[in-house]
């Protein structure tokens, strides 16, 4: 019945289907062995990974259900990064290419050009803040945030890190930096909440790299630092000191 609901032509039915799916996640999460069972987890992720969100309200319901799953996985989310988290980030930011930072062919460009391949998180403006908050939670959990911007978010908070602090960030840096670029450029620097979130995201990036650089340097660490400079350069190319867009970069 629920499978048919995900294919319904009526938006309200699809939205209800994602709400029901959250209830199933709740039931599975009552037993850690159930929700982490590979077959059960693949079942839960199946309707989230298919292209079934053609409108903003459906995409919002889908994104909320996806994040609900991440929260319910708790300590097990990190072990399922490739299965659950990476596809979620691609839903939010596209990030299909590992060279997205350097190429300049951003999801924002695809969206403006009217490309059908733009991800739902980029296509629908109403999702930009929610997607950025999800990214902020993913890269901030586990960091010491005492000196960071106080950033109040409207989504459920993670109880455990999704990334292995430092090295996990390095391992997924290409995907994460592409997402960070998309998130920063989609936020409105003239909106105080957006401005704080943008600065917070960049602080988290530096916090992750600080941990990495405090340990023995490795080739992948060097590549991550290079990617950071590419990210900053890409953001700088879209703004000048004094412009509202520069608030994120020059803060």
Distances (CA, A) of 34 to 47, 65, 67: 18, 18, 18
pLDDT of residue 112: 46
pLDDT of residue 191: 92
pLDDT in tens, the chain (251 residues): 577 899 889 999 999 999 999 999 999 999 999 999 999 999 999 999 999 898 999 999 999 999 999 999 999 999 999 999 999 999 999 965 444 444 344 445 444 444 445 789 999 999 999 999 999 999 999 999 988 988 899 999 999 999 988 788 888 999 999 999 999 999 988 899 999 999 999 999 999 988 888 876 677 788 888 888 888 888 877 765 554 455 555 45
pLDDT of residue 181: 92
Paired tokens of 239? 């703004």
Total of domains in the chain: 1
Q: Residue 131 contacts by C-beta under 8 Å, 6 or more apart in sequence?
A: 63, 92, 93, 121, 183, 186
Q: Taking Cα atoms as reference points, which of 144, 142, 118, 143 lies closest to residue 131?
A: 118
Task: Tell me if 74 is assigned to some domain.
Answer: no
pLDDT of residue 109: 43
**Rounded-to-integer distance, Cα 251 and Cα 247, Å:** 5
Task: Tell me if 2 is assigned to some domain.
Answer: no
First vs last Cα of the chain: how many Å apart?
51
- Domain that includes residue 205, residue range: 128-251
pLDDT of residue 116: 41
Task: Tell me if 72 is assigned to some domain.
Answer: no
Task: Tell me if 26 is assigned to some domain.
Answer: no
Task: Tell me if 99 is assigned to some domain.
Answer: no
pLDDT of residue 246: 53
- ∠ CA(195), CA(198), CA(201), 5° rounding? 150
Task: Tell me if 97 is assigned to some domain.
Answer: no
**Rounded-to-integer distance, Cα 98 and Cα 177, Å:** 9
pLDDT of residue 180: 94
Task: Tell me if 217 is assigned to some domain.
Answer: yes
The reported pTM is 0.86
Task: Tell me if 69 is assigned to some domain.
Answer: no
């Amino acid at each position: 019945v629920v499978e048919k609901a995900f294919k319904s032509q009526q938006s309200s039915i699809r939205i209800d289907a994602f709400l029901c799916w959250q209830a199933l996640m709740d039931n599975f999460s009552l037993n850690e062995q159930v929700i982490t069972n590979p077959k059960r987890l693949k079942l839960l992720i199946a309707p989230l990974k298919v292209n079934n969100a053609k409108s903003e309200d459906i995409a919002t319901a889908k994104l909320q259900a996806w994040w609900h799953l991440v929260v319910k996985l708790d300590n097990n989310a990190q072990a399922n990064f490739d299965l659950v988290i990476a596809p979620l980030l691609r839903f939010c930011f596209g990030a299909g290419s590992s060279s997205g930072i350097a190429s300049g062919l951003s999801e924002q460009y695809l969206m403006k050009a009217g490309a059908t391949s733009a991800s739902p998180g980029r296509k629908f403006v109403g999702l930009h803040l929610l997607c950025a908050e999800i990214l902020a939670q993913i890269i901030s959990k586990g960091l010491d945030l005492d000196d960071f911007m106080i950033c109040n978010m409207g989504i459920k908070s993670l109880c455990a890190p999704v990334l292995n602090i430092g090295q996990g960030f390095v391992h997924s840096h290409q995907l994460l930096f592409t997402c960070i670029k998309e998130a920063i450029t989609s936020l409105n620097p003239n909106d105080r909440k957006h401005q704080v979130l943008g600065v917070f995201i960049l602080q988290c990036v530096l916090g992750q790299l600080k941990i990495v650089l405090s340990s023995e340097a490795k080739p992948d660490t060097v590549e991550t630092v290079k990617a950071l400079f590419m990210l900053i350069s890409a953001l700088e190319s879209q703004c000048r000191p004094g412009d509202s867009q520069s608030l994120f970069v020059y803060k």
